[in-house]
Every structure is written in C-alpha cells, then in structure tokens.
Amino acid sequence: MLGLRRGEVVVVDHQSEWEEIAATTIKHIKEIFGDNAFDIQHIGSTAIRNIKAKPMLDIAVGVACFDTLTDIYPKLEENGVYKSSTQPLPGIVLCAIKDCRENDIVLCNLHIVVIGSEQWNNHIVFRDYMNSFPEKAATYEKFKIELAQQYPTDREAYCNGKNEFISSCISEAHIYFDINQDITAIEPINAGLSSDKKFYMEAAGGKRFLLRISDISEYERKKTMFDIMKKVADLGVPMCKPVDFKIYNDRKSIYQLLTWCEGENLEIVLPTLPKAEQYALGIKAGEILKMIHSIPAPQKEQTFGCS
C-alpha cells in the first residue's frame, strides 16, 4: 500500500517494500537531476525502521542552489513529479510524485534542499537518530498514532502536533553525532535557572556526562568559566569535571561536556538533616570555598549565570 490523499492522515504498519520502492525512486530521480543532485536520501517516517508511518514516501534531493533547477522542473513534470503550487517552508522546494497532476493521491513527497543546509542536515540526523535509538522511535510512533486518531482529515494539525518532539530530537541528534563519545542514552534536563540547554548522557563503559549547550554569543564568557572550572577541579573539589568545550551546530552553538556528579537538591535535603550534620556540611563547604578562592580571578570581569 502506497499513496495518500492530500490532507488525509493514516498511519500503517511499516512495510518492507518501502525501502525497495524508495531505492527505485531515488534511482529514477537521479536520472532526471543528473549532476544537479549531489545526494538523494530516503527520509521521513518510512525511512525509520519498524515504526508506523503514513503510506507515502519522503525523498530529499540535495542541490547546490535552486537557481540551477529551471530546466529540471519540466523534466520532473514529464515524469510525474509536480512542483507544489504552495511552498510553505523556507529553504525547501516541495514536489509531489503522483500518477497525474489531477490525481489527489500523493505517492511520494520530494524535498529539494541545498546540500549541507540546515534543512538537509536536520532531515538526515533525525532519521539516523531515530534508527540509532529504537526507544525514541517508539515514542515518536506513539505520538503519530495519537495525532492520526485526533486529526484524521487535518494534515497540518497532525504535523504541527509533532513539531515540538521532532525539534527536541533534532537537537539531541546533533549532539549525538557531533560529540566524540559512544553515547548510549541522552535525556533533556529541565531543572536549573540558566538559559543553557542541559542533557544527561550515558556512554559505553558506564560513563555518565552532563552536557550544557549555549548560544555562540556566550562563547567568551562560557570559555572563561570552563577554564576556571578545570583549575577548580584540579584542586580536588567535588564537582562535575570539565571534559570538552567546542563550537558546533554550524558555529551557532557551543557545548560544554562535564562528568556527571550525583547529588540531591540541597534546598530540600538540608532542613531534614540533624543540626550537627548541617554544621559539619557548612564547615566542609567553607573549606571548599577557600580552595576555590585560592584561584586568581580573571583579568576581565565576568558575570556567571546560575546553573
């Protein structure tokens, strides 16, 4: 079964034939685009193993720029690939593969994007991340089933309902593929007061990490803080120890990778402790602060945010 009417929302069990049809379609599209296509990939839910999906393929075509495609569009139409009359998404030219233009049933959506662009990268990393973490794919499938039941004739509402989950997973996917660690689990952390995005990560061998992501505009401040943290860690202070600091996400973001430090919420735990233990912890905290203050302050005044 392949094909879906415009606006209709139906999800069906994963079909093994989808990969075969996608491979045949990619070969045919490559013949039409020739050297104008740098890469062509099967994307979307039908490219995610073992999950339900709408019975309609998604294919991404990576090109150098859209200006080179003027002569390609007529060839596409001759082969049943029709450019959509509306183009709602910036940076993507959408086309539909149908038996004929008048047919309301779409067999495949063609996403023409600039190779290496944010749109291209997001399509690829989302697919690969879902296939790398079956439990994430299962959660995605659950969203799809619920939304399909809720919006059986409203494709736009169905897609909008997935956006937040997809956006979150794309952020996690870039982390997973950009960080040089054998990551086995990654989960967002919603606690804390800073504007940083924070993630708990597990890696092979039982290693655990805290990942903090900031906007590139924070580079100088965060790098200074990271370097000071390394000096503090060298003193033997119990803390999340700095591991790595890098620019990533096409130079839009920076990340700090630190070891995971198990602990409890002091505001909740401290009042439950005996007074003598609270006093002992206060003494210990003072000793730690004294060690930290042995490190000279940076020459340029910095204002550091809360965790």
pLDDT at 262: 87
Range of the domain at 272: 184-292
Token pair listed for 225: 């803080």
Q: Is residue 217 in a domain?
A: yes
Query: Which secondary-structure segment (H or E) carries 175?
Result: helix 155-178
- Give yes or no: residues 135 and 206 share one domain: no
Reduced to 3 states (helix: H, G, I; strand: E, B; else coil), residue 215 is strand
Distance CA 29, CA 103 (A): 20
**Angle, alpha carbons 237-204-258 (nearest 5°):** 30
Query: What is the SS3 string spanning 8-46?
Result: CCCCECCCCHHHHHHHHHHHHHHHHHHHHEEEEEEECHH
Q: What pLDDT is recorded for position 272?
A: 94
- Say if residue 207 is in the same domain as residue 247: yes
Number of compact structural domains in the chain? 2
Does residue 306 register a pLDDT over 70? Answer: no
pLDDT of 302 strictly over 60: no
At residue 46, the pLDDT reads 98
Q: Looking at residue 300, what is its pLDDT?
A: 64
**Residue 303, in any domain of the structure:** no
Residue 305's pLDDT is what? 54
**How far apart, in whole angstroms, are the C-alpha atoms of residue 31 and residue 37?**
9
Are 170 and 192 members of one domain? Answer: no
Shared domain check, 98 and 188: no
The two tokens of residue 65 are: 């720029």
What percent of the chain clears pLDDT 90, i.e. is strictly above it?
Answer: 73
Q: Which candidate, 115, 99, 108, places its Cα nearest to that of 55?
A: 108
Is residue 156 domain-shared with residue 206, that is, in the same domain?
A: no
For position 202, which CATH number holds? 1.10.510.10
> What is the rounded radius of gyration, in angstroms, for the C-alpha atoms of the chain?
25
Other beta carbons less than 10 A from residue 19's beta carbon: 15
φ/ψ of 63, rounded to 5, equals -125, 165
pLDDT at residue 76 above 70?
A: yes
Last residue of a domain, one of 152, 178, 204: 178
Q: Are residues 171 and 223 in the same domain?
A: no
- Last residue within a domain, chosen from 145, 178, 211: 178
Q: Does residue 209 lie in a domain region?
A: yes
Mean pLDDT calculated for residue range 173-188 = 84
CA distance 46 to 59: 10
pLDDT at 75: 96
Which tokens hold the place of 89?
A: 């998404």
Q: Mind listing the pLDDT tens digit for each residue in 21-64?
A: 999 999 999 999 999 999 999 999 999 999 999 999 999 999 99
270 inside domain? yes
Distances 79 to 25, 63, 83, 100 between C-alpha atoms, Å: 11, 19, 12, 9
Res. 103 pLDDT band, cuts 50 70 90: confident
- DSSP string over 86-132: ---STTEEEEEE-SSTT--EESEEEEEEETTSHHHHHHHHHHHHHHH
| pLDDT(297) > 80 | no
Helix (H, G, I), strand (E, B) or coil at 268: helix
Q: Region 241-248: what's the mean pLDDT?
A: 92
Are β-strands 208-215 and 197-203 bridged in parallel, bridged antiparallel, or unpaired? antiparallel
Residues 66 and 110 occupy one common structural domain: yes
Measuring CA to CA, which residue among 219, 220, 223, 201 is closest to residue 210? Answer: 201
Band of pLDDT at residue 99, cut at 50, 70 and 90: confident
Tell me whether residue 92 is in a domain. Answer: yes
Residues 174 and 189 both lie in one domain? no
Contact 127, 44 (CB under 8 A): yes
Of 178, 206, 235, the position where a domain reaches its end is 178
High-pLDDT (> 70) share of the chain, %: 96
Position 305 in a domain: no
pLDDT, tens only, 208-223: 999 999 999 999 999 9
303: pLDDT strictly greater than 60? no
Residue 304 has a pLDDT of 52
In a domain, 298, yes or no: no
Same domain for 132 and 13, yes or no, is yes
- Do the domain assignments include residue 302? no
